[in-house]
Amino acid sequence: MLSLSLVAPRSGQMHQIMAPELAKQGQMEAAIGNFREGLRVDPKLPGVHFELAEALNASDSLEEKAEAKHEYETALSSNPLDEKSECRLGAIACQTGDMQGSVSHHTRAAQLQPDDSEALLGLAKDLIEMNETQKEQGLLERAVQGDPTNLVAHFRLASVHRLQGKTADAKRELEEYQKLKDMKDKLRKIYQQMRVQVMERDSEEKSR
Protein backbone atom coordinates (compact mmCIF):
# COMPACT_ATOMS: atom_id res chain seq x y z
CA MET A 1 0.00 0.00 0.00
CA LEU A 2 2.84 2.38 0.86
CA SER A 3 4.63 1.72 -2.44
CA LEU A 4 1.45 2.21 -4.43
CA SER A 5 0.61 5.41 -2.59
CA LEU A 6 4.01 6.79 -3.65
CA VAL A 7 4.06 5.73 -7.31
CA ALA A 8 0.33 5.77 -8.18
CA PRO A 9 -1.73 7.51 -5.47
CA ARG A 10 -4.67 8.18 -7.80
CA SER A 11 -4.72 4.79 -9.50
CA GLY A 12 -7.71 2.49 -9.55
CA GLN A 13 -5.70 -0.06 -7.57
CA MET A 14 -5.06 2.46 -4.80
CA HIS A 15 -8.79 3.14 -4.44
CA GLN A 16 -9.47 -0.61 -4.50
CA ILE A 17 -6.98 -1.13 -1.66
CA MET A 18 -8.24 1.79 0.42
CA ALA A 19 -11.92 0.83 0.22
CA PRO A 20 -11.75 -2.36 2.36
CA GLU A 21 -9.67 -0.53 4.96
CA LEU A 22 -12.36 2.14 5.21
CA ALA A 23 -15.04 -0.55 5.43
CA LYS A 24 -13.21 -2.16 8.37
CA GLN A 25 -13.41 1.18 10.16
CA GLY A 26 -17.16 1.35 9.55
CA GLN A 27 -16.87 4.09 6.92
CA MET A 28 -19.05 2.32 4.35
CA GLU A 29 -19.98 5.41 2.32
CA ALA A 30 -16.33 6.28 1.90
CA ALA A 31 -15.53 2.66 1.01
CA ILE A 32 -18.25 2.57 -1.66
CA GLY A 33 -17.01 5.92 -2.96
CA ASN A 34 -13.49 4.54 -3.34
CA PHE A 35 -14.72 1.46 -5.18
CA ARG A 36 -16.68 3.72 -7.55
CA GLU A 37 -13.67 5.95 -8.10
CA GLY A 38 -11.50 2.91 -8.74
CA LEU A 39 -13.92 1.83 -11.48
CA ARG A 40 -14.02 5.33 -12.94
CA VAL A 41 -10.24 5.46 -13.16
CA ASP A 42 -9.90 1.89 -14.43
CA PRO A 43 -13.16 0.28 -15.65
CA LYS A 44 -11.35 -3.04 -16.19
CA LEU A 45 -9.91 -3.26 -12.68
CA PRO A 46 -10.05 -6.98 -11.74
CA GLY A 47 -12.40 -7.94 -8.91
CA VAL A 48 -13.68 -4.44 -8.14
CA HIS A 49 -17.24 -5.04 -9.37
CA PHE A 50 -17.63 -7.92 -6.90
CA GLU A 51 -16.09 -5.91 -4.06
CA LEU A 52 -18.36 -2.94 -4.79
CA ALA A 53 -21.34 -5.30 -4.91
CA GLU A 54 -20.41 -6.71 -1.48
CA ALA A 55 -20.27 -3.22 0.01
CA LEU A 56 -23.57 -2.21 -1.60
CA ASN A 57 -25.25 -5.45 -0.54
CA ALA A 58 -24.34 -4.75 3.11
CA SER A 59 -26.14 -1.39 2.94
CA ASP A 60 -29.57 -0.74 4.46
CA SER A 61 -30.53 1.23 1.36
CA LEU A 62 -32.89 -0.60 -1.00
CA GLU A 63 -31.47 1.36 -3.92
CA GLU A 64 -27.92 0.26 -3.11
CA LYS A 65 -29.04 -3.34 -2.65
CA ALA A 66 -30.65 -3.19 -6.09
CA GLU A 67 -27.42 -1.77 -7.48
CA ALA A 68 -25.51 -4.62 -5.82
CA LYS A 69 -27.41 -7.12 -7.99
CA HIS A 70 -26.30 -5.25 -11.10
CA GLU A 71 -22.68 -5.21 -9.91
CA TYR A 72 -22.74 -8.97 -9.23
CA GLU A 73 -24.10 -9.51 -12.74
CA THR A 74 -21.36 -7.28 -14.16
CA ALA A 75 -18.71 -9.17 -12.19
CA LEU A 76 -20.07 -12.43 -13.57
CA SER A 77 -20.08 -11.15 -17.13
CA SER A 78 -16.43 -10.13 -16.67
CA ASN A 79 -15.55 -13.49 -15.14
CA PRO A 80 -17.99 -16.34 -15.94
CA LEU A 81 -16.10 -18.55 -13.46
CA ASP A 82 -16.94 -16.29 -10.50
CA GLU A 83 -18.83 -18.73 -8.27
CA LYS A 84 -19.15 -16.18 -5.44
CA SER A 85 -21.17 -13.83 -7.64
CA GLU A 86 -23.33 -16.79 -8.66
CA CYS A 87 -23.94 -17.52 -4.96
CA ARG A 88 -24.87 -13.92 -4.17
CA LEU A 89 -27.23 -13.72 -7.14
CA GLY A 90 -28.80 -16.99 -5.99
CA ALA A 91 -29.39 -15.56 -2.51
CA ILE A 92 -30.90 -12.37 -3.98
CA ALA A 93 -33.19 -14.42 -6.25
CA CYS A 94 -34.33 -16.50 -3.24
CA GLN A 95 -35.09 -13.34 -1.23
CA THR A 96 -37.28 -12.03 -4.03
CA GLY A 97 -39.14 -15.34 -4.44
CA ASP A 98 -37.47 -16.31 -7.71
CA MET A 99 -36.76 -19.91 -6.71
CA GLN A 100 -35.94 -21.12 -10.21
CA GLY A 101 -33.39 -18.34 -10.54
CA SER A 102 -31.97 -19.17 -7.14
CA VAL A 103 -31.61 -22.86 -8.01
CA SER A 104 -29.99 -21.96 -11.32
CA HIS A 105 -27.38 -19.67 -9.74
CA HIS A 106 -26.58 -22.00 -6.84
CA THR A 107 -26.36 -25.02 -9.15
CA ARG A 108 -23.98 -23.14 -11.42
CA ALA A 109 -21.86 -22.08 -8.44
CA ALA A 110 -21.67 -25.68 -7.20
CA GLN A 111 -20.63 -26.81 -10.68
CA LEU A 112 -17.86 -24.21 -10.75
CA GLN A 113 -16.67 -25.08 -7.24
CA PRO A 114 -18.00 -28.46 -6.04
CA ASP A 115 -16.63 -27.89 -2.50
CA ASP A 116 -18.12 -24.41 -2.08
CA SER A 117 -20.18 -24.80 1.11
CA GLU A 118 -22.03 -21.54 0.45
CA ALA A 119 -23.29 -22.82 -2.91
CA LEU A 120 -24.23 -26.22 -1.50
CA LEU A 121 -26.03 -24.70 1.47
CA GLY A 122 -27.84 -22.26 -0.80
CA LEU A 123 -29.00 -25.09 -3.04
CA ALA A 124 -30.14 -27.09 -0.01
CA LYS A 125 -32.21 -24.10 1.17
CA ASP A 126 -33.74 -23.80 -2.30
CA LEU A 127 -34.83 -27.44 -2.24
CA ILE A 128 -36.40 -26.98 1.20
CA GLU A 129 -38.35 -23.95 -0.03
CA MET A 130 -39.56 -25.97 -3.02
CA ASN A 131 -40.44 -29.00 -0.86
CA GLU A 132 -37.87 -31.12 -2.70
CA THR A 133 -35.90 -32.44 0.24
CA GLN A 134 -34.64 -35.74 -1.19
CA LYS A 135 -31.19 -34.34 -2.02
CA GLU A 136 -30.99 -31.98 0.96
CA GLN A 137 -29.01 -34.27 3.29
CA GLY A 138 -26.34 -35.03 0.69
CA LEU A 139 -25.86 -31.35 -0.07
CA LEU A 140 -25.59 -30.46 3.62
CA GLU A 141 -23.07 -33.23 4.23
CA ARG A 142 -20.97 -31.97 1.32
CA ALA A 143 -21.25 -28.42 2.70
CA VAL A 144 -19.93 -29.56 6.08
CA GLN A 145 -17.10 -31.49 4.42
CA GLY A 146 -16.16 -28.43 2.37
CA ASP A 147 -16.30 -26.13 5.39
CA PRO A 148 -16.44 -27.87 8.80
CA THR A 149 -16.95 -24.47 10.45
CA ASN A 150 -20.23 -23.75 8.62
CA LEU A 151 -22.66 -23.16 11.50
CA VAL A 152 -25.84 -23.13 9.44
CA ALA A 153 -24.98 -26.37 7.63
CA HIS A 154 -24.43 -28.19 10.93
CA PHE A 155 -27.70 -26.85 12.34
CA ARG A 156 -29.74 -27.80 9.29
CA LEU A 157 -28.11 -31.21 9.14
CA ALA A 158 -29.08 -31.76 12.78
CA SER A 159 -32.68 -30.90 11.86
CA VAL A 160 -32.63 -33.40 8.98
CA HIS A 161 -31.30 -36.18 11.23
CA ARG A 162 -33.90 -35.36 13.88
CA LEU A 163 -36.73 -35.64 11.35
CA GLN A 164 -35.31 -39.00 10.24
CA GLY A 165 -35.24 -40.25 13.82
CA LYS A 166 -31.43 -40.37 13.90
CA THR A 167 -31.12 -39.01 17.43
CA ALA A 168 -27.40 -39.66 17.88
CA ASP A 169 -26.48 -38.03 14.57
CA ALA A 170 -28.73 -35.06 15.32
CA LYS A 171 -27.12 -34.64 18.75
CA ARG A 172 -23.62 -34.79 17.25
CA GLU A 173 -24.37 -32.09 14.66
CA LEU A 174 -26.11 -29.89 17.22
CA GLU A 175 -23.17 -30.16 19.62
CA GLU A 176 -20.79 -29.22 16.80
CA TYR A 177 -23.01 -26.26 15.92
CA GLN A 178 -23.03 -25.05 19.55
CA LYS A 179 -19.27 -25.45 19.90
CA LEU A 180 -18.61 -23.42 16.75
CA LYS A 181 -21.16 -20.78 17.75
CA ASP A 182 -19.56 -20.32 21.17
CA MET A 183 -16.14 -20.04 19.54
CA LYS A 184 -17.43 -17.47 17.03
CA ASP A 185 -19.02 -15.41 19.82
CA LYS A 186 -15.73 -15.38 21.75
CA LEU A 187 -13.77 -14.33 18.66
CA ARG A 188 -16.27 -11.54 17.95
CA LYS A 189 -15.74 -10.15 21.47
CA ILE A 190 -11.96 -10.35 21.06
CA TYR A 191 -12.10 -8.51 17.72
CA GLN A 192 -14.35 -5.84 19.23
CA GLN A 193 -11.91 -5.32 22.08
CA MET A 194 -8.98 -5.12 19.65
CA ARG A 195 -10.83 -2.58 17.53
CA VAL A 196 -11.58 -0.42 20.57
CA GLN A 197 -7.93 -0.59 21.61
CA VAL A 198 -6.77 0.46 18.15
CA MET A 199 -9.24 3.36 18.08
CA GLU A 200 -8.12 4.50 21.55
CA ARG A 201 -4.47 4.27 20.51
CA ASP A 202 -5.11 6.26 17.32
CA SER A 203 -7.00 8.86 19.33
CA GLU A 204 -4.11 9.21 21.79
CA GLU A 205 -1.58 9.58 18.96
CA LYS A 206 -3.65 12.29 17.29
CA SER A 207 -3.96 14.22 20.55
CA ARG A 208 -0.17 14.35 21.08
Q: Could you read off the pLDDT of 159-198 as tens digits, one per residue?
A: 989 988 999 999 999 999 999 999 988 888 887 777 666 6
pLDDT at 16: 82
Query: Residue 104: its pLDDT value, please?
Result: 96
This prediction has a pTM of 0.77
List helix spans (H) across the chain: 2-7, 12-24, 28-41, 48-57, 62-78, 83-95, 99-112, 117-129, 136-146, 151-163, 167-207
Distance of CA 164 to the CA centre of its chain: 31
pLDDT lower than 70: segments of the chain: 1-10, 133, 195-208
Q: Which of 74, 70, 72 is nearest to 87 (CA)?
A: 72
Give me the CATH topology for the region 1-94.
Answer: 1.25.40
| pLDDT score of 196 | 62
Cα(74)–Cα(202) distance, integer angstroms: 38
Return the closest-CA partner of residue 75 out of 34, 111, 120, 105: 105
- Every domain of the chain and the residues it spans: 1-94
DSSP tag of 59 = S
Give residue 6's pLDDT. 55
